[in-house]
Structure formats: C-alpha cells, structure tokens
Amino acid sequence: MATTEHRSAAARRWSLQVPARVPMWEWVRESRGGLVLLALIIGAGAGGGAIVFRWLITTFTKLLSGFPDYSALGHIANPHVPWLGSWFVLLAPVVAGLIYGPLVTKFAPEARGHGVPEVMYAVAERGGRIPPQVTIVKALASALCIGGGGSVGREGPIVQIGSAWGSSLGRWTRVPENRLRILVACGAAGGIAATFNAPIAGPFFAMELILRDFAAESFGAVVLSSVTASVIGRAAFGNHPFLDLPAFSLKSGWEYLAFALLGLVIGAIGVAFTHVLYWIEDACDWAWRGPEWLRPAVGGLLLGGLLLVLPQMYGVGYPVLAHAIDGKYVLWMLLVLMVGKMIATSLTIGIGGSGGVFAPSLFIGAMGGTAFGVVVNHLFPGASAAPGMYGLIGMGAAFAGATRAAITAVIILFELTGEYTIILPLMLAIVAATGISRALSKETIYTLKLTRRGVNLDAAHARSDRRLDRRPISAVMELMPEPIAADTSVAAAGRAVWLSANGVLPVIGHDQRYHGCVTARAVAEAMTGAQPTHTTVADLAVIPPRITQDSTLAEGLDALTGAESTGIPVLDPGGQTVVGWLTHRAVLTALQDSPPRPADRQAA
C-alpha cells in the first residue's frame, strides 16, 4: 500500500497536469512538471533567439562589408563604398563601435566581453539573476561587433542571450534560487544547440561549464531545453553538420602517438591564447583614459589596421577555417593565421567588443593542428593522415586546453563535423590537451576572468553534519521578524529592511498569506535604478527554497545554501503561513548544543 502511494506521489510530481487545489504559479515554481514546462518554453525562446541573432550578424555584416561573410574574400572592395577599395576595413569597426559602445555602456555593461564568464558569475554569485535587458543588448552589440569585423565568435553571446532569457522567465515566475540556476543553464544549452545544431553538446556545455554539476533533475531539464531549441534551429538552418568537410581516415596505428603529441602542443597553445587574451585586455585598460562608450570606436582603428593586413580575421572566420582543413594554405600562412587570430580576438575584447572565444579557439586549433599535420606529412609521407584531420583534432585540443571542458570538447567536435572516424584520436588528443593545460595554468579562459574579480568557483562548500538529519527545524528555529505588507512602497520598505537583523523580511498579503521575501539588495537595486522600476515590495519578492517546521536541519542547511540571504522563513506544514525563521546561526547553535556521536568523533 505504501509503495503504491509513493509511486502515485512521484507520478504527480512529474505530471504536467496541475493537481487540484494547488495554485497554478505554485505548481510552476515548485513541481517537476512545472520545471519541464519552463524548460520547454526556455528552449523555444533560445531557439528563436539563435535564429534572430544569426540573422542580425548576417545583416550587419552585409551592411558594413557588403558581403554575408568577408573573411575568405581577400582584399576586395565593399560594393557599398567601392571608392574606398579594401581600406573600408579601417572604418567598419569604428562605425560599429560608435553604435554598440554607447548601447552597452548605458543599458547593459554585462554585455561587454565574451559572455560565458558573466553567466558563470551570475550562477555562482547572484543565484542566476541576469538583467533582462542583456538579451536584447547582447544580441545587438555582438552582431554589430562581428558584422563590423570583430574577430570573435557567436557562441558566447548566444549563451548569454539564452541564459538571460531563462533567468528573466524564472524571475517572472519567482522560482526558488536553486531552480533559477537550472533555468539559466537551460537557456545556455538551448542557445548552443540551436546555433551549432548540437543538441548533445549543448547540455554538456551547460552542465560542465555553467552549472558545474550533473544532478539528474537539472540534467533532464537542460536536455529538454536543448532538444526543443535544436528542433527549432533545424527548422530554420537545416539538419546537417555545422562544418561540411571531406572524410578522413587513419593511415596506421602509430599515428596515435602523433595525435597525443598534437594534443600536448595545441593544448599548450590554448593556454597561451588564454594569457594573450588577458595581457592585451590589461594593456587596453591601462592605455585607455577616455569614456567607455567611445573605447570600441577608437580601438576599432587598431583592429581595422590589423584587418587591412589580414582580412581573414574579419568576423567569426568559419570559411577560412574550412579552407585550412581543406589544405588551401601553406605552412607559414597557417602559423600567421593562428597568431593573427590570437591577437585579433584579444584586441576585439580588449577595446570593449562583445563576442565569444569559443569559435576563435576552434580557429586557432584548426590552424595549429593543420600546420602540425603538414609537418607530420612531410616527415612521414604516405604513412600519415591528411593534414586536415590533424586540423580537426586540433580544434578540440585547443578548446580543451583553453577551457578544460574535456567532455564538451569531444562531443561538440563530433557534432560540428559529423566525423565518427576522428573520435578515438580526438579523445586521446583532448585528454593530453587537458592534462597539459592543468600543468601549465591553474585557471581556464573562463575562470581566469572570475578569479581576477575574486570569485573562486572551486571553493569547497561545507557539507551537512550527520547530526542535522536527526533534528527538526522546529526545535531550533528563531522568532519570525516583523513581516512587511505586500503593498508597501519600495521607498518605505528601505528603512524596514535596513533595520532588520538579517537584511531580509517576509512579505505578507492582506489575507496574511506568505508571498515570499524581500532582501536589502533587491530594494537597493530598485532604488538606484539598476533594475526596472518597481512600485511595491510584492514586485521585488522572491520565493526562497521552501522549508517547513517538520523539515530536518540538514534540509534547512541545504535551503540556506541555495538562498541569497542569511535567513529564510520556516512555514507551517501547509506552506501558507510563516511560523519561524532559520539562520546559519541557528544551525551552528544546534551543532554546538548537540554532542557528537562516537562515530562522528572517530571520523574527525
């Protein structure tokens, strides 16, 4: 009987049907069926966003260069301004910078840079909260930057665009903070899946880099979002590999040694790219003394000068990458393009541009890997695979060396190319690249930016003590602070929250029902205009992880860890009324008052 009831309860949690007597918004916020629904909506939005974003890139590239993709065309004139000849590339980054520079500075400074670290920071430090305007500003700024010759990729922007959409939807539905992080990852996975036709790589990218966790509930939601976005992307872009390349095959078993060496070499180049990126960014920060909105335009002159010498650096550069894999460049040109991409991408980011580093790392790996293959072919003619195969594997090795995301590197290279024959040497090279990356650098191209801000993603989190599983929250909870009415104005709420002990107060409606909590940070952001204008605290209220007086202290500590404040409300068993308050201080008091068991003492 108990087993049957348990199965029925589990079925209700996963069901998409709203149970009777449960308010719609509460079902969306807390049930697994609600999470499924939100993941589907986010996937659809991310897929549509990817379509619009790629259209924007093509449109701005045509406007500013005269062609859908200028990178592989060489020194030719822009048909819109033929009298400038190839010198138009000096002005294209300047014109683009004059537009997106003020746009980013005024409306969304988070849109500057390569996107993924900003999403990682939002998940790690802000509970998944990303300003909603980032979705539009990032799309316009990155499309203008790439269309104007910025040598960056589109994966970082689409990750940030999708994540901002997921965060906005989650905040609108007022989901708990731990679930909001999942929705951010859903948006990131959907963006990757739709943009690159990579429905498997999208979830692994989000789980390995954004959430840094492979929990079953979050993985299921992220996969659903990725599949939904991929279906929409395939309807618009077609169902074929992102890169259309010739078939490759190994010549002999000894080549695995060459691929292992390739992984070490290109992995080290990926680490070098990481440091060059931040060296040039620091140099630009040191040199610039003017207003930030003007920085992309003035710096665009430097970028334009580089494009005048190497037009292959214009935009993302996938046609140039494909030409390298096809063997259309000689050895010295491959090396020039590899170094040129490092400098061009770093300069684009350094002057305040907006775009990703994923595609540049693939470009660098393709050039370096193909150059490595040319040397191997010269030393062992007839006994080694085509240089293009080394270029393909170099793409994965460079990405792994820069990001240390080995699983994502293997899967995304397979999905981008559709080449199953490269799987074994690809895995070997990526393992070697990841190993050399760990040996040469403590940080990755994404985490280094956060470390420079003082954010440590690998900091160990305290684990719950076993003694907490035996005590209910009702035994240690504190008195509830004075609640604040839902219709209280933001200005009036400021003083009340400021005077509160924990910087957070429960919000109660006229019916005395619990509506969530309002924090000092939320009030401060609203009063300074960092967020859209709110009129009452009800608009600012969020629902922290829900615990009741019957929950254990272990569950309470997990909820505190996932909350944005130092205290959370304790609800009655019905979940409608606040009966107490739980803080870290209460948990610590419970630990001090409860003597450790012999087993705990022995373990210590």
Each residue of 424-434: pLDDT tens digit?
899 999 999 99
Find out whether 36 and 224 touch, Cβ atoms under 8 Å.
yes
- Looking at per-residue pLDDT, the higher value among 401 and 488 belongs to 401
Instruction: For CA atoms 27, 133, 125, 440, give the dihedral sign.
Output: positive
pLDDT at 23 over 90: no
Contacts with 5 (C-beta within 8 Å, 6 or more apart), sequence order = none
Find out whether 290 and 52 touch, Cβ atoms under 8 Å.
no
Q: Is 217 helix (H, G, I), strand (E, B) or coil?
A: helix
Question: What CA–CA distance (Å, rounded) separates 567 from 473?
Answer: 13
For residues 75 and 209, state if they share a domain. yes
DSSP 241-262: -SS-------S-TTHHHHHHHH
- How would residue 4 be classed by pLDDT, with cut points 50, 70 and 90? very low
For residues 192 and 268, state if they share a domain. no
For residues 180 and 87, state if they share a domain. yes
- How would residue 469 be classed by pLDDT, with cut points 50, 70 and 90? low
The structural domain count of the chain equals: 3
Find out whether 420 and 250 touch, Cβ atoms under 8 Å.
no
Please, what is the Cα angle at 202 between 201 and 208, to 5 degrees?
Answer: 80
**Residue range of the domain that includes 377:** 255-291+309-451
Supply the mean pLDDT for the chain: 83
For residues 260 and 215, state if they share a domain. no
pLDDT digits (tens, 9 = 90+) for 523-576: 887 877 655 555 788 888 888 888 888 888 877 887 887 666 678 888 888 777
- How would residue 597 be classed by pLDDT, with cut points 50, 70 and 90? very low
Q: Among the listed ranges 136-140, 186-190, 234-238, 557-561, which one has the minimum average pLDDT value?
A: 557-561
Q: pTM of the full predicted structure? A: 0.77
Find out whether 205 and 191 touch, Cβ atoms under 8 Å.
no
pLDDT digits (tens, 9 = 90+) for 314-371: 988 889 998 998 889 999 999 999 999 999 999 999 998 888 898 999 999 999 999 9
For position 96, what pLDDT does the model report?
93
For residues 266 and 190, state if they share a domain. no
CATH number at residue 53: 1.10.3080.10
For position 586, what pLDDT does the model report?
79
Q: Is 569 helix (H, G, I), strand (E, B) or coil?
A: strand
Question: What CA–CA distance (Å, rounded) separates 57 from 461?
Answer: 41
- The answer as to whether 4 is a domain residue is no
- Looking at per-residue pLDDT, the higher value among 1 and 419 belongs to 419
- The answer as to whether 599 is a domain residue is no
Q: Among the listed ranges 12-16, 120-124, 234-238, 484-488, which one has the minimum average pLDDT value?
A: 12-16
For residues 387 and 503, state if they share a domain. no
Task: Report the range out of 83-92, 456-465, 583-592 with the highest average pLDDT.
Answer: 83-92
> Residue type for 96, please?
A
Q: How many CB atoms lie within 10 A of CB 286?
A: 8
For residues 479 and 575, state if they share a domain. yes
Find out whether 158 and 129 touch, Cβ atoms under 8 Å.
no
For position 564, what pLDDT does the model report?
63
What are φ and ψ of residue 273, in 5° steps? -60, -40
Find out whether 155 and 117 touch, Cβ atoms under 8 Å.
no
For residues 417 and 522, state if they share a domain. no
For position 17, what pLDDT does the model report?
52
Tell me what percent of the residues of the chain surpass a pLDDT of 70: 87
Question: What CA–CA distance (Å, rounded) separates 553 from 224?
Answer: 33
Q: What is the DSSP letter of 380?
A: S
- The answer as to whether 297 is a domain residue is no
- The answer as to whether 81 is a domain residue is yes
- The answer as to whether 246 is a domain residue is no
- The answer as to whether 195 is a domain residue is yes
For residues 38 and 62, state if they share a domain. yes
CATH number at residue 476: 3.10.580.10
- The answer as to whether 102 is a domain residue is yes
Question: What CA–CA distance (Å, rounded) separates 72 from 69?
Answer: 7
Calculate mean pLDDT across residues 279-294. Answer: 90
CA 312 from centre of chain: 27
Please, what is the Cα angle at 582 between 579 and 585, to 5 degrees?
Answer: 145
- How would residue 246 be classed by pLDDT, with cut points 50, 70 and 90? low
For residues 414 and 559, state if they share a domain. no
pLDDT digits (tens, 9 = 90+) for 156-212: 888 889 989 999 898 888 888 788 888 999 999 999 998 888 888 889 888 888 887
For residues 204 and 110, state if they share a domain. yes
Query: Pairing between strand 504-508 and 514-519?
Result: antiparallel
**Tokens at 125, concatenated:** 């430090």
- How would residue 468 be classed by pLDDT, with cut points 50, 70 and 90? low
For residues 82 and 49, state if they share a domain. yes
